[in-house]
Structure 1
Amino acid sequence: MTSSGVAWTFLVLLGVVVLVGPWVLGTANRLDRLHVRTDAAWAALDAALARRAVVTRAVAVVCGTDELRAAADRAERAGRADRETAENELSALLDGLDRSVLAPALAAELADAEQRVVLARRVHNDAVRDTLALRQWRLVRWLRLAGTAPTPSYFEIAEPEHDVPTQRVSARVVLADRDGRVLLFEGFDPARPDELFWFTVGGGVEPGEELPAAAVREVFEETGLEVSADDLVGPVWKRRAVFSFDGLSYAAEEWFFVCRIETADVVDTSRFNALEQQTITRHRWWSVDELRATDDTVYPVQLAELLPEVLDGAPGGGAPGGAPSGGAPSGGAARNGWDGITRSVR
């Protein structure tokens, strides 16, 4: 080969390196990041599965189910090759579990653990999909850009067949006048229209919204009364519960504030949303004596017992107790249970 031919060959090779080199380096870096992402996703999934096993063992103790506890142990101890089978066996047992016998806090924790497994598995499999797609490129295979990293694999387990509750954070307000009467609404679950119950002002917290702001907004939307965050005391109670409303399941975290107003002005319900207009029948102001004497269903069920204490100026976050609430969508179907500030009540 002549010197000019050698020179042209060198220039062509140099051009190839200049053009392909950045792509090779970029692809190798991208593949490395995908492998790191896949490893992290597996670690998160493994942690979610481990938490589900721990919660399942607590459920098994309550239910007295040795089979469920043994399945949780097998799933936790299984190697990677046998993990899918063991986890699917555990999922099948959990799908057949009667959750009505569980305390609301434990039922909510189990539902949360299952939901985290579902989300973690999807994130993991998405990472595996992206990694495998890049590893299958011909140049990636020919140039061995994956190095010694093992080929990731999907993790396929069945998702829960039962209705996984929707997570819902709510701000609720014990709105009382200067005579100590509290405002309650009467409503019903559309799935059980004959079961009426009374409940406090409040509702769901919107994304990015602070609890006091949500409480103030709910008071205005449901009553037309304008209060500020400075008018609120609390939160005085915190509740966790699993309940159903209109055929849907919810895992609720509800925070209760107290708000005193000077007078029981006319309540303006014109800002009710469509669901509230459909399911709320009336409202009234209740005294403690009336709450103690009524045979109506009232949420919180211990409102008459706890109301005097919080109205006497218990500091925010320091008042004892907590009680189950109703209200759309936490109606008569709610299974009542609390994480109280200093004690738990029904």
Structure 2
Amino acid sequence: MGAASEDRIHRRGARVLLVSHAGDEPRLLMVRGHDPHDTGRYFWFTPGGGLEGGETMRAAAVRELAEETGHVLETHELVGPVWRRTALFDFASRPYTQFEEIYVGLLSHAETRARTAEEWTAIEVETIDEVAWLTQTELRESPIEVFPAPLRESWTWFLEWDGVTRDLGEVDE
């Protein structure tokens, strides 16, 4: 990975699978971005990010969703966590270990407000290229990376969640 292990950033994060049932098939709100130090590397990822201060996972999930997309949910409107994982990845030439919880939210419950560029961090302004609603087929067939990778598979288990949080373990992205 290039950097020494003591340079690794360890953090906790939360993400949201925001689902829309408008139209013929469910869609997920996804963010397309790129690595500023590897401009040929593009990827789709779910809205979310690291916890701030004494924030709970749910609070971080709804804050990040609002900041990145303008869709506002209350913490009690999140379902889950449906997934837990520890993601090992490099971004902007820095190695990260991020323990994440991933929740489901429904667009029908979300208030939508205009999102302004001022709400994004400097790195988000530099690296976010698009926010889009994608179908399962579009994600499965996408020529770029998708995070988390199981979103390329069936969505039935989280669309009809049985109350059991699935642990994806440690994933190397």
| TM-score class, shorter | 0.7 to 0.9
SS at match of 1:314: coil
| Distance in 2 separating the partners of 1:230 and 1:217 | 13
Deviation at 1:236, TM superposition (A): 1.2
Q: Deviations along 1:42-99, whole A, 9 cap, x unmatched?
A: xxxxxxxxxxxxxxxxxxxxxxxxxxxxxxxxxxxxxxxxxxxxxxxxxxxxxxxxx7
Alignment pair present for 1:286 and 2:134 = yes
Cα gap change, 1:313/1:251 in structure 2, threshold over 3 Å: closer, same or farther?
closer
Give the match for residue 96 of structure 2.
Answer: 250
> Retained in 1: the 8 A contact 2:84–2:166?
no
Report how many aligned residue pairs link the two structures: 167
User: How far off its partner does 1:304 sit?
Assistant: 3.0
Q: Which residue of 1 aligns with 2:148?
A: 300
Give the match for residue 167 of structure 1.
Answer: 10
The structural deviation recorded for 1:301 is 1.2
1:335 aligns to 2:162 (yes or no): no
Cα RMSD, aligned residues only = 2.6
Looking at structure 2, the residues matched to 255 and 201 of structure 1 have their Cα atoms a distance apart, in angstroms, of 12
Unaligned residue ranges in structure 1 (runs of 5+): 1-98, 101-160, 325-333, 337-346
Q: CA deviation at 1:239?
A: 1.0
Which structure features the higher share of helix residues? 1
| Residue ranges of structure 2 left out of the alignment (5+ in a row) | none
Residues 177 and 263 of structure 1 are in contact (CA less than 8 Å); yes or no, is this contact kept in structure 2?
no
Q: 1:320 to 1:169 in 2, by over 3 A?
A: closer
Matches within 5 A, 1:256-275: 256-262=102-108, 268=115, 270=117, 271-275=119-123
So what's the TM-score if we normalise by structure 2?
0.84
Whose relative contact order is higher, 1 or 2, with alpha carbons under 8 Å and at least 6 apart?
2
The structure richer in strand per residue is 2
Q: CA deviation at 1:234?
A: 1.0
Post-superposition, which runs of at least 4 consecutive aligned residues in structure 1 deviate over 4 A? Answer: 263-267
- The residue aligned with 1:92 is none
Q: Which amino acid aligns with 1:235?
A: P
Report if the CA contact (8 A) 1:237-1:323 is conserved: no
| 8 Å contact kept, 1:301–1:323 | no
The answer to whether the 8 A contact 1:236-1:255 is kept is yes
Check 1:286–1:194 CA distance in 2 against 1; reply closer, same or farther (3 A cut). same
2:33 pairs with 1:191: no
Measured in 2, the distance between the counterparts of 1:241 and 1:255 equals: 11
Aligned to 1:239: 85
> Counterpart of 1:229 in structure 2: which amino acid?
T
